[in-house]
Amino acid sequence: MKTSLTPVDAPSIRSRPVYAVLESRPASLHLIVADGEGADAVVEMLDKANDRSGMLAAAHVMYTPGPDGADHGAALEAIGAAQFFRAPTIPSLLPRLQRVLLDAHMGTQFYLAGTEGLIGQAEREIMNTGFPHVAIQKEHRGSTVRRVQCVHCKGITENVATDPFKCSHCGLNLFVRDHYSRRIAAFQGVNIDAEDPGKVPESVVRFK
Amino acid sequence: MSGGAKLPVRVAEVVEVNELIKRFRFVSRDGSDLPAFSGGAHVVVEMDDHGTRRLNPYSLMSDPEDRSAYEISVRRDDQGRGGSLFLHRHVKPGMEFVLSHPMNLFPLDNRARKHLMIAGGIGITPFLAQIAQLSHFSGKFELHYSARSKPLGAYMDRLSSAHPGKVHCYFDNQSQQINLKTLLATQPIGTHLYVCGPKGMINWVLSTAESMGWPKLALHHEEFLAPGTGKPFEVQLAVSGKTITVGTAQSLLEAMEAAGVDAPYLCRGGACGQCETNVHKCDGTILHRDHWLTPEEHAEGCKIMPCVSRFEGKTLVIER
């Protein structure tokens, strides 16, 4: 059984997202969205960029601290992108991204870095414009906690660390699958004691 | 039988669109509806040109929701192998033909926020069907269409009046050219680009878009290659145990068919990949003309696309 939580190749299941190291590519606008330790991935990409100053002059960076409180925003702000926006949370970052996408043109490059929750929700906004999701660059850094949808009540629980866990909406005991929905930007949680109610395996911390 | 199930049809109408282009309307022989298709699809038209069997792909240009008939527009190619000349000179209403089912190697990606279409000459035909399809659900599109001259710009008037503000025409004889860089720089995020026309135009559009950061998956193109002519050559068919000679104006696929070998095919234009065949032995040079195999596969010489590619040299043995 595959144990890596941040696969870069051959995922355990086809829908399991795959990540890679960010690299700068030619673009009229570099749209960079990061949370927590994702800031480090962006800084490292810029250090390797052929045209660092040109890239920064056409870069719009949006940042929020990670779900575990990891805050590398100061280092990211210091790189000197044309625009830097700091949001307190992911839900308060996404309206900014939606607004920027309204006016963005083809020729924009997208760079997403940080937790899977941030990457998935930013990817969903970009994908909804019709932009091919495989052309969006994604690098996973930091916390591995998951955003999970209960397949029964459809409610989403953020920052799931244990498996199984109790759905924050309907209270069912959910097993966290690697099965992922890009449309919902969440992993799927399935009732683990449907056959024998109450017979729930001991909950272990799988995501940190 | 290779090529899939066939559609028996009758020519209902032949219209001269301009001095180079004729439009043919096909209806089913028993009056029933033809199979549904989607914008960008083509059919292979089987022709008996005075004893020579010709199978040429043509894009369907009619409204995909109109199942009473299929329409194609054919540009006469006086230097071609003869398919378009046959259609132009000999095909009259009432004649019976056999078509392949429609297949689509150039579909719209309907996740797109906007469809940007670039057509050159007769490359307009798949866009006519796509625009009809988009019009049914108010899909957003913009067409940039180049022709040699105003009289040769088939369907320009019809498109411009039906879709004011969305159709932009350019004429070579007035030295007008698409301002491609500006056009590509001003498209909203989520736009998909479609290009159909001469090879040079397709390469120009795709390479410019890629250099400007457009992702490959948002770029779509279609180009049917005519098989082209060349020196006759001999081929050994390992599975059938036959040795055949491919004539000057014949494709390898056609030569196999003439020898009674049922080889697979769909598009017959080097695009779909269906006729891909392994090469057992090659003492000479394969003249690859398809755009299905990768440049690496072309260099390796272990595969050939018999619908368009040829051979020069001593011995060619293929797995068919």
User: Measured between beta carbons, which residues in chain B are less than 8 angstroms from residue A130?
Assistant: 109, 111-114, 189-192
Domain boundaries, chain B: 6-104, 114-222, 233-318
**Domain B114-222 CATH assignment equals 3.40.50.80:** yes
**Rounded CA separation A126/A100 (Å):** 10
Q: Which helix (H) or strand (E) holds A190?
A: strand A186-191
Predicted confidence band at B79 (pLDDT cuts at 50, 70, 90)? confident
CA neighbor of A37 nearest in space, from A133, A113, A122: A113
Mean pLDDT by 10 residues, chain A (208 residues): 45 85 95 97 96 96 96 96 97 98 97 97 97 96 96 97 96 95 96 91 92
Asked whether the beta carbons of B39 and B109 are under 8 A apart, the reply is no
- Domains within chain A, CATH numbers bracketed: 29-140 (3.40.50.80), 146-205 (no CATH)
Predicted confidence band at B224 (pLDDT cuts at 50, 70, 90)? confident
DSSP, collapsed to helix, strand or coil, labels residue A103 as helix
State the nearest Cα–Cα gap between A39 and chain B, in angstroms: 23
Contact criterion met (CB < 8 Å) for B213 and A26: yes
Strands of the sheet with B167-171, listed across from one edge: B167-171, B141-147, B114-120, B191-196, B219-222
**Rounded CA separation B77/B88 (Å):** 10
Exposed, middle or buried, B155 (CB in 10 Å: 0-12/13-18/19+)? buried
Residues B14-38 have pLDDT tens digits of: 999 999 999 999 999 999 999 999 9
Q: Do domains B6-104 and B233-318 have the same CATH topology?
A: no
Q: When comparing pLDDT for B249 and A41, which is higher?
A: A41
Nearest CA in chain A to B184: A106
Q: What ipTM is given for this predicted complex?
A: 0.88
Interface residues from chain A to B (CB-CB < 8 Å):
25-28, 101, 104-109, 126, 129-132, 134-135
Cα separations in angstroms, B134 against B49, B58, B71: 37, 21, 18
Cα separations in angstroms, B109 against B56, B142, B291: 26, 15, 21
Stretch B196-203: mean pLDDT: 94
Give the pLDDT of residue B45.
Answer: 94
CATH class of B233-318: alpha beta
- B183 at the A interface (CB within 8 A)? no
**pTM to 2 decimals?**
0.88
**Rounded CA separation A29/A113 (Å):** 17
Task: Please give the CATH topology (third level) of the domain spanning B6-104.
Answer: Elongation Factor Tu (Ef-tu); domain 3 (2.40.30)
Q: Alpha helix locations (H) across A73-205? A: 73-78, 90-103, 116-127
